[in-house]
Amino acid sequence: MKKQFYYLVAVIAFAFSCASQQESMDALIKARLYHSVEQYKLMAHSLIDQPDRLPRSFDAEGNLVTSASSWWCSGFVPGTLWQLYEYSKEDELLNYARNYTARVEKEKYNRGTHDLGFILYCSFGNGYRITGDTAYRSVLLVGAESLISRFNPTVGSIRSWDHNRAQWQFPVIVDNMMNLEFLFWASRVSGDPKYSQISISHADVTMEHFFRPDFGTYHVVSFDPESGLPEVKNTHQGFSDESTWARGQAWGLYGFVVMYRETKDAKYLEQAKNMASFMLDHPNMPEDKIPYWDFNAPDIPNALRDASAAAIMASALIELSRYVSDDLTKKYLQVAETQLRTLSSPEYFAEKGSNGNFILKRGVGHLPGNSEIDVPLTYADYYYIEALLRFRAL
């Protein structure tokens, strides 16, 4: 009996020892990408007979929430399918990626949204990059024209929203930094510099008017379209006008990293580094590096975390790590690794067939509007997969 007891103790000790050994990032990324491929096959199959619908979220009652192609998130599921196809080379995913990308094509004519980068560049942009399909190129160039139709040269920015006219004359949101990469692509492919010139103007106006001294960002700045001057600085999805909405900060960080990549102008690199420092060194950033939905949420540490903000931030930090000194490279990659490990844990990473077939749980869409709270979000999945692939390529 004593021998069996000591044997059992040894087995338990060995099991705890194995559990305490952290899975390598290579193994973790391979496992999560394999799972994500299987999950997104289920996702794509679930709406294959509804060609006018795209996945949007999964509600608390267990229902898949869908959208039309005009919804600002419509390009993320096609984009994720393209990324997973590029990784897996599975023809089934290629077919799904083409099918879902075709669902958003008509948005190339949509001049009522600033989100054509999200809608078209994540879908058709990835498709063109991976396949070289010239039909995709044509769609994108039409879409780029639609996007720049919203540019006001007096303000120097692309208008974000057409609603809320009583509150704002010419609203611009920090999220709009994410649509500038699309325009740089359009200039490269078309040979016309106007698209990149508009991107540079928009980014410069954002740098001048959206940031507080600590490099936290306002969500919405509305301009007087006649004078071009800012009239009011607010939030729409954050806690308050003077708080820093986590996903907005992540959008801005990612956008300025892209601006540096595309222009090699050092001012954009400095802006990205300062924005990263705000997030990484903020006293309200949790140890596991998944931000609270707002850095100034009143109920911290009980406030909701936002998986989407973490995924966007991780992807941005991985790219930013390529452009900075060795000490910052190490710091950024350590944070991104922590974020990816946390997002890959059971708390955030869904089991196969659960979570409406989305990959990540616990996203926060628009808490003040009581919309998409603590649910899966398509953009969380998209930037999580992008971050895994970027880390894998290091």
Per the residue annotation, which of 49, 52, 115, 204 is the catalytic one? 115
By the 8 A CB rule, do 85 and 97 touch? yes
Burial class of residue 386 in the structure, from the number of CB atoms within 10 Å of its CB (0-12 exposed, 13-18 middle, 19+ buried): buried
**Those residues with Cβ within 8 angstroms of residue 379's Cβ, 6 or more apart along the chain or in another chain:** 73, 76, 118, 308, 311, 312
As a whole number of angstroms, the distance between CA 249 and CA 295 comes to 10
From the candidates 26, 59, 175, 288, give the one annotated as an active-site residue. 175
34 phi/psi in degrees, rounded to 5:
-60, -45
Q: Where does the chain show beta strands of DSSP type E?
A: 54-58, 64-67, 151-152, 157-158, 170-173, 220-223, 230-234, 363-366, 371-375
Rounded to a whole number of angstroms, the CA Rg of the chain reads 21
Encoding tokens for residue 370? 């009581």
Q: Is 175 a catalytic residue?
A: yes
Q: In this structure, which amino acid lies at residue 377?
A: L
Write b or e for each residue in 5-32: b if 16 or more Cβ atoms lie within 10 A of its Cβ, otherwise e.
Answer: eeeeeeeeeeeeeeeeeeeebeebbeeb
Which residues are part of the catalytic machinery? 115, 175
